[in-house]
Amino acid sequence: MESSTPGIERARTQTGALLRRINAASAELATERFTYTSPDGLVRATVDGNGALLGISLAEGAVRTAGLGSQLVTAVNTARRAATLDSRDRLASVIGGKRADALIGSSEYDGMLDGVSSDD
């Protein structure tokens, strides 16, 4: 086996350090909670910072509401978008903003997340 050049070793070291920082950020995000409640208060969805769905709550009478399915989808998607934007900001601090934008998308939509709460 050929010995590695110093440049390759340096790249391996940098990549390993970057992966450790990304994994640490991902573990931290798993502890975050983002909850969206529909404007009428009937539907609530909670996700973790990685976007994993943790729970859906329906208020009494919600099952008989027309459009319940679309309210559920909106609640989950809005909570996930908030988690995605938060994770984008954290990832940007690790790999840089342009790279994070390329992977996740821009955070220009933050203002569209009315009704989302975060437990951070």
In a domain, 11, yes or no: yes
Q: How long a stretch of residues is the chain?
A: 120
In a domain, 41, yes or no: yes
* Side-chain half-sphere CA neighbours of 48 within 13 A: 10
pLDDT score of 52: 94
Whether the predicted model's global pTM rises above the 0.75 cut:
no
Least confident window among 12-21, 94-103, 104-113: 104-113
In a domain, 120, yes or no: no
In a domain, 1, yes or no: no
pLDDT of 45-64, one tens digit each?
999 998 999 999 999 888 88
Q: How far apart are CA 118 and CA 49, in angstroms?
A: 9
**Contact criterion met (CB below 8 Å) for 69 and 52:** no
In a domain, 50, yes or no: yes
pLDDT score of 106: 65
In a domain, 60, yes or no: yes
Q: What is the domain-level CATH number for residue 38?
A: 3.30.1310.10
Number of domains in the chain: 1
Q: List the domain range (segments joined by +) for residue 24.
A: 6-115
3-state secondary structure (DSSP) of residue 113: coil
